[in-house]
Amino acid sequence: MVRITPLPEGLSKAPFTVYESRALGVSPKRLRAKDLSDGGRLIYLPAGRHLEIVERARVLAAATPGAWASHETAVVLTRLGLPPWLRGCSTIHLSKPHELPRERRTGVTGHRVRLIPGELTSIDGIPVTAPPRTWPDLAMVLPLNYLIALGD
């Protein structure tokens, strides 16, 4: 009979990065156990668990140095409100500084942007574009009347 060593409390219920597991002393062999599933490059999650957008944004931003949630994902995290046709979007939008390559992962839309200091904020530990920056990011996606409503 094979015994699985319990994960530390912070890792047993939510997705986590390999960096977080190493910091808590979890062995690479433990990460291959059947109670965990591979969430993509450097990400692990409890097997059979559906992830909410906030959890996915947090772990993806943590696994991608220099990245932050932006565009539609930033609207969801800041609770600005999306038009009906964008509410069911399952893609996470991650932006990086213009000098770095776009993030390429399944379920992620990568962007390269130039930021002005002060355009980033943090929500529950997730780096996110601030609402004044999110508004122009969505200018290419939203019709004018929705863009005006979002700005109001």
Confidence of residue 46 (pLDDT cuts 50, 70, 90): confident
Q: Is the pLDDT of residue 139 over 90?
A: no
Instruction: Please give the residue that has the higher pLDDT: either 58 or 1.
Output: 58
Average pLDDT over residues 52-65: 85
Tokens found for residue 40: 């993509």
**10 Å Cβ neighbour count for 52?**
11
Q: Measured at the alpha carbon of residue 56, what is the angle toward residues 53 and 59, in degrees to the nearest 5?
A: 150
Q: What is the pLDDT of residues 72-120, one digit of tens each?
A: 888 888 887 776 666 667 788 999 998 888 888 888 889 998 988 888 9
- Please tell me the predicted confidence (pLDDT) of residue 120: 92
d(Cα 126, Cα 58) in Å, to the nearest integer?
5
Predicted confidence (pLDDT) per residue in 22-32, tens digit:
888 888 888 88
3-state helix/strand/coil string of 19-31: HHHHHCCCCCCHH
Cα–Cα dist 101/96, whole Å: 7
The per-residue pLDDT for 87 is 66
Q: Say what the pLDDT of residue 144 is.
A: 85
Residues of the chain above pLDDT 90, percent:
9
Predicted pLDDT at 21 = 86
54-83: burial string, b at 16+ Cβ within 10 Å, e else: ebbbbbbbbbbeebbbbbbbbbbbbeeebb
